[in-house]
Each structure stands twice: as structure tokens, then as C-alpha cells.
Amino acid sequence: MKKHLLYAGLVLTMACSATAQNKDAVKFSKTINKDNAYKHLSVIASDAYEGRETGKKGGWMTADYIKNFFKKIGLKGPVNGDYFQPIDMMTVSLSQVLTVNGQPAEAIKDFYIVPQTVSGAGFGFNTSSVLFAGYGLKKEGYNDFEGINVAGKVVMIFKSGEPNGTASAGNSRSAAMAKIKYLTEQKAAAVLVIDPTIDAMPENLKNYLTTPSLVMKTKEEIEKLNGPQQTPVINIGTVVADQIFAAAKTNLADVKKKIAESTKPASQEINVSISASAKRVEEKVRAENVLGFLEGSDPKLKQEVLVVTAHYDHIGITPEAKGTDKINNGADDDGSGTTGVLMLAEAFANAKKAGKGPKRSVLFMTVTGEEKGLLGSEWYSEHPIFPLENTITNLNIDMIGRGDKDHAADNNFVYIIGSDMLSTELDQIGKKANKEYVNIELDERYNNRTDPNRFYYRSDHYNFAKHGIPVIFYFNGVHDDYHQPGDEISKIDFPMLAKRARLVYFTAWELANRANRPKVDKNADGTKKD
């Protein structure tokens, strides 16, 4: 008798579960599967796409692939009839010159200027003397600036170290910044910073200094770039330093020895001819978000838009990477998320063709420049194609193809971040969709504003959340191949990629068809609205 009661209860539970599911939602979810996931990811995460770097060939190839797919499945191009939302981006490199007594120094080998310190106007100066101010220190018992007025002077200092010959205590970079700040406040004309590490500069620093930086021309960025030039700072190696000291009939080693033995400053004016200049070189770059639009079926609700995002860019090619593989394929980051968006778009497009399309409109958007600082989503949030006030939610997918060490024993999980940050109702909707359709572990350990990893702030959903739009960020955690050439297609768990994508799909289905948009009942800091 107990056995029969148990069986009857099980049948009743299954029946209740079945009725909770939307049959149309289930029917059109079938194309969100491991085979279709592989079909897309095997293309965009292949070596041919060269790591999909923003503003490079591989990024453009990916954008074209997504655009063609959106067009094929019947989504509309909402940007004046096009699928591309162009982003005003440029690369900025530096033309820099330094001469000592008419002898040119070699940039990067003998000296360097940090590109971000040069404004749109650039700088140039000529001087017949340099004021050497030792370690640039001003403290009890020792003052390199005693009796010296640095205003209008080109000042040369050691980047780090102490007068007694020992290394500086604490962070040498922050100490150097403090010295430069002081000299700027004292109106020095320019600063030469002696940095011996330039003589054997690490490859990563060389690449940073020689690789043009990618800049998005927001209003704030333009004002910063075209603002007044700050005090020029030139970092010089020992070769250039010794050229300058030679004019005072000494050298770097002897000056350091003199200060250490006497424990007194050796500040002095050195008569030497120096000229320097730096100029920004700007070049416009092709970069775009790719948008596919599915208009809602309800005359009133179609004005409201659900936005589903993933970033299609990655970090490109790393020449200095160890081993023979230099291409960062980004299969998980974020080829997996991009693949998820493509599969969701196809499922919703098929539903609409069958007369079962969503009541609200859905914007499927793959953004670029995430790896450069969430640039593409920031651009959209500042130049929205659909009013932000009509945007009901952003579902953002960034890495759903693998797992992390904390879930090595069972990969049936996904991290959800941000779902209850602004809307209690959105959190409930997402969890209900999981329970009714997918049933995977929803790990919320990173779902807070104080997480030291700052994941809530590190993907494209944040550029919606900061405007008060509720979000859910789906994420499988960081693994050993994060931002490495090892992030390959062969390591993707395709069944789980598809399963996580289905979770996003069923959540999106509910959001696009329910009577009311999720209520925003929390402020930006998480406190309840009045």
C-alpha cells in the first residue's frame, strides 16, 4: 500500500512539473544543443580567427560571422537597418625623441615615455642644463631639495633607492609617483627618472610600451586626451644617465657612492644640452557591436526590450607566450557565451516564424572591447539603440563552456551574479526557470559587491546595472587556461555549454512573455527602495 501511494505521489509530482513548463518554450529550445554549440564555436574559436582581438582581423571576421548568422535566421538589423553599431575607436601610439648633446637616444632601449601621460597636444622642450636632485627625497635629516628651486627646471632623480645605498622600502612605483607629484606641484618643467631596469627591459613592458593602445572616444575620454599636458616625465636608463653625468665629469656609480659615503645630497646643476619631444599618433580603428533584433508580438509590450549579451572579442595573439601556440583562441572566454547568444537567437527566431514569438522585443547583442575595459557595452549604454528606460533586463553570458577547480567533481553548475542586486523579482524568475526546466546548481558565492574578484563589475552586464537595469551574469569560473593559448575548443564541455545556455533561454522566455517587467526594488548599493 505504501508502495502504491509513493508511486501515485511521484506521478502527481511529475504531472505538476510538466504543467509548470511552457510547451512552446520547451519545443523551441531543442536547437540549443551540443552539436549546434560545436558548429558555432569550432569556427569563431579556431586559429583562423586569430583570437578575435578588438580592432584586428580576427575581431572583424567574428563580427561578420555573427552578422551573417543573425541575417540568416531572420533577425532584423536595428541600427538604421544594419546589424553593426560602429564604435568610435582609435589606436594611440607615441612618437618620442630624446637627444643628449645632440646625440639621439633609442626609444625603448635607452628611454621611454608612458603613452598615457601624453595629451593630444604632446610636448617638446630644449634645455641647456639639468638639475640633478638625487633620490628626490625630502625627509628628516636628508633633503635633496634644500636650497633649490625646481620651478622651470628639467629635474633628474633616481627612481628608487635610499641615500645609504639600500633599496627603497615599500612600493618603488608608488614612491616614484610621489616624487613626480611633488615635482609637478613645484612646477618643474620636466622630470628625468633614472631607472636601471630599462637596461634589461622585460618583454611584457616592451610590448606594453610599443603596442598601440585602444581608446574609445567617449566625451570624457576626448576631454582627457585633449586636456592640458602635464609635466613631461621621461624614464631613462643608465646609458643616458651617464651621458648626462659625463658633462659634470662624473658618472652614475660614483654619484651614488658619494651620496652613500657622505649621507649627504649631491644635488647640482649640470650644464648639458637636452631636447625631447613626444607626440600622439592616432589611427581610427574598425570596431562594432553586432545587434540582432526580434520584435515582440504584443502591440504594447513590444516597446519593452530584453537584452541578451556576450562579448565576442578576446585577446588575440601573444607573441611572447611560451611554447609554439601563440593564439589565444578564447573558446571559453567568451566564445562559449557568444555561441550561447547565437543559439538563443535561433530558438527565438524559430518560435516567431511558427507564430509563437515573444510578446516583448528581444535584442541579441554581441559586444566588442570587453577585454579592453568593457568598451562595447559602455558604448551601447551611452548610445543605446533602444531607450534604456525601456530595457527590462540584461542577461549576460561570459564563459559557460567549462568549469573551475571548486566544481571539478561535478560540472553541473553555473555561477549567477547580480540577479538580486537590483531586483528581488528577477532573482526569483531566474531561479524558478532553473527549477522548472534545467535543474543545475546555481552557485552564488560571487554574488556580492565585496567579492575580492569584483566579478560583478568585470563583465558587460555592469554597464546596464549602473543605469539601474536589473541583470543576471552567467559564469563558469576561472580556470588555468584563462587568458592563455590553452583556452581551446578541445577543453569545452559542450553538453554543459548547451545546458547553461538553455537556462538563459528559459529565463529569457519568461521575461519576454510575462505580464510585467521585473520590478526594480533596490538601489545601486543594494538597499531597499522606499
SS (H, E, C) 115-139: HHHCCCCCEEEEEEEEEECCCCCEE
CA distances 522 to 61, 252, 420, 469, 530, Å, are 41, 61, 9, 11, 9
Query: If one looks up domain 33-87+288-513 in CATH, what number appears?
Result: 3.40.630.10
The model's pLDDT over 325-378, given as tens digits with 9 standing for 90+, comes to 999 999 999 999 999 999 999 999 999 999 999 999 999 999 999 999 999 999
The CA angle 265-270-160, to the nearest 5 degrees, is 45
Confidence of residue 171 (pLDDT cuts 50, 70, 90): low
Residues 6+ apart with CB under 8 A from 175: 160, 168
516: helix, strand or coil: coil
In the chain, what percentage of residues exceed pLDDT 70?
A: 96
CA distances 393 to 97, 336, 385, 450, Å, are 51, 21, 15, 23
Residues 456 and 421: their CA atoms lie apart, in Å, by 10
- Mean pLDDT over the full length of the chain: 93
385: helix, strand or coil: coil
| DSSP assignments along 77-109, one per residue | -TBTTBSEEE--EEEEEEEEEEEETTEEPPBTT
Residues 418 and 416: their CA atoms lie apart, in Å, by 7
> Does residue 175 register a pLDDT over 50?
yes
What is the average per-residue pLDDT within 177-193? 96
Nine-digit cell string for 391: 530595457
268: helix, strand or coil: strand
Q: Which one is predicted more confidently, 299 or 207? A: 299
pLDDT for 267 equals 96
> Does residue 2 register a pLDDT over 80?
no
Q: Is the dihedral of CA 277, 221, 52, 486 positive or negative?
A: positive
Helix/strand number for the chain, H first, E second: 14, 19
CA distances 258 to 12, 237, 252, Å, are 91, 20, 10
Looking at residue 76, the DSSP 8-state letter turns out to be: B
The model's pLDDT over 247-291, given as tens digits with 9 standing for 90+, comes to 999 999 999 999 999 999 999 999 999 999 999 998 999 999 999
On the CB side of 392, how many CA atoms lie within 13 Å of its CA?
26
Options 3.40.50, 1.10.10, 3.40.1350, 3.50.30; CATH for 91-284 is 3.50.30
**Quick one: which H or E segment has residue 157?**
strand 154-158
Residues 6+ apart with CB under 8 A from 222: none
Residues 95 and 205: their CA atoms lie apart, in Å, by 17
* Strand spans (E) along 419-509: 441-443, 471-475
166: exposed, middle or buried (Cβ count in 10 Å: 0-12, 13-18, 19+): exposed
Confidence of residue 169 (pLDDT cuts 50, 70, 90): low
* Strand spans (E) along 398-467: 413-417, 441-443
pLDDT for 174 equals 80
Nine-digit cell string for 352: 516567431
Is the separation of the CB atoms in 122 and 229 below 8 Å?
yes
**What is the value of pTM for the model shown?**
0.84
Nine-digit cell string for 212: 598601440
Confidence of residue 321 (pLDDT cuts 50, 70, 90): confident
pLDDT for 165 equals 75
pLDDT for 322 equals 84
What residue segments make up the domains of the chain, in order of their start?
Answer: 33-87+288-513, 91-284
The model's pLDDT over 21-58, given as tens digits with 9 standing for 90+, comes to 999 999 999 999 999 999 999 999 999 999 999 999 99
pLDDT for 326 equals 95
Place of cell 657612492: 257
pLDDT for 121 equals 83
Q: What is the bridge-based pairing of β-strands 154-158 and 123-132?
A: parallel
Confidence of residue 170 (pLDDT cuts 50, 70, 90): low
Residues 245 and 492: their CA atoms lie apart, in Å, by 59
Residues 310 and 307: their CA atoms lie apart, in Å, by 10
> Does residue 9 register a pLDDT over 60?
no
Confidence of residue 10 (pLDDT cuts 50, 70, 90): very low
- Kindly report the number of other CB atoms within 10 A of residue 390's CB atom: 14
Is the separation of the CB atoms in 395 and 474 below 8 Å?
yes
> Does residue 164 register a pLDDT over 90?
no
The model's pLDDT over 440-490, given as tens digits with 9 standing for 90+, comes to 999 999 999 999 999 999 999 999 999 999 999 999 999 999 999 999 999
pLDDT for 14 equals 42
> Does residue 530 register a pLDDT over 90?
no
What is the average per-residue pLDDT within 180-193? 96
Torsion of CA 295, 299, 304, 308, to 10 degrees: -30
Residues 37 and 524: their CA atoms lie apart, in Å, by 35
